[in-house]
Amino acid sequence: MTGPATVTDRLERHQVALYLLAIGSGLVLGLAAPAAAESLDVAVTPFLAALLYVTFLQVRAADLAAALRDRGFLGAVLLVNFVLGPLVVAALSPLLPADDAIRLGALLVLLCPCVDYVVVFTGLAGGGGQRLLAATPLLLLVQMLLVPVYLTVLLGDGREVIDPEPFLWAFLVLIVVPLAVAWLTQFWAARSAAGRRASAAASTTMVPLMMAVLFTAVGSQVPRIDSRFDDLAGVIGVYVAFIVVMGAVGLLVARGFRLPTESGTAVVFSGVTRNSLVVLPLALALPVGAELAAATVITQTLVELVAMVTMVWAFTRAARRR
């Protein structure tokens, strides 16, 4: 017999609705009080670092080692995200608006696979969310190494636009520090009751932190999107095309690698979802004149979240038919 549902259980059960609520609230604030909303951008990085800490807290070193040994799954994820994905982006890039900031923001977000809420949506769709979670540190590391190279190739004169410092800073603040603190917390929890309580308490904050990230990220960028919507509208079709093509690519690769259904679903979701919340601080740190890049990144988040809800519905419906 199971006990009564905890607050955390209820939050997780309704997390998609709560994420949509956070996005809707950010939209309302951004439109109703743009000056106040824009000031929220300083909170995005701290909230995101905290979210990634809690995410990494669920990845034990042993789980990470096991994920690295699953060569079929890992090979499929790396192929989809860092070989086929960039080829799709290159094919779609001529369709992007001519504005340099919009092109930079779109390329930046489309080249980076997601490492946070993709785990949530993969699990809701019946996929191997934990396996994808364990591969998260590797996905983050590879994209931070390769994305500057891809941007340079696709932008042509990208070396003049891309400052490596924001990438290095983001890698330190959003990857190295949260991962190190998470593993220190695990070490403490394995040896102390106080550490176990602290770890358990931190784990309950996943959904509220995701809501905070979505609210601050969307709210801070909506005024920029609203003021330049005519310019940004041209990128929406590219985002939709990317989602459709990468969904098909992920399915083909999963079948080609003969992955189990759960692993195959994880590959598809990993290929479709992009790392908008992690690359947003990079976009915000770009030189003066590229402010529209951040709004372009958030536009992708809004398009993608609609796609995620649709994909969860489609995958769960397909699973019931089996």
Distance CA 276, CA 259 (A): 27
pLDDT given for residue 158 in this prediction = 47
Instruction: Characterise 258 by phi-psi region: left (phi > 0), alpha (psi -120 to 50), beta (else).
Output: left
pLDDT given for residue 1 in this prediction = 45
How many alpha carbons fall within 13 Å on the CB side of residue 307?
26
The total number of residues written for the chain in this structure: 322
Consecutive H or E run containing 34: helix 34-38
> What's the helix, strand, coil split of the chain in %, to 5?
85, 0, 15
Distance CA 120, CA 2 (A): 23
CA distances from 13 to 7, 32, 123, 129, 131 (A): 10, 30, 12, 15, 20
Contact between 267 and 254 under an 8 Å Cβ cutoff? The reply is: yes
109-138 core/surface letters (b: 16 or more CB in 10 A; e: else): bbbbbbbbbbbbbbbbbbbbbbbbbbbbbb
Contact between 308 and 273 under an 8 Å Cβ cutoff? The reply is: yes
Full-model pTM: 0.79
| Residue 240 tokens, joined | 């939709």
Distance CA 201, CA 185 (A): 11
- Which residue ranges in the chain fall short of pLDDT 50? 1, 158-160
In this predicted model, what pLDDT tens digit does every residue of 118-173 receive, in sequence order?
Answer: 887 888 788 887 788 778 778 888 888 888 889 889 987 544 455 566 666 767 88
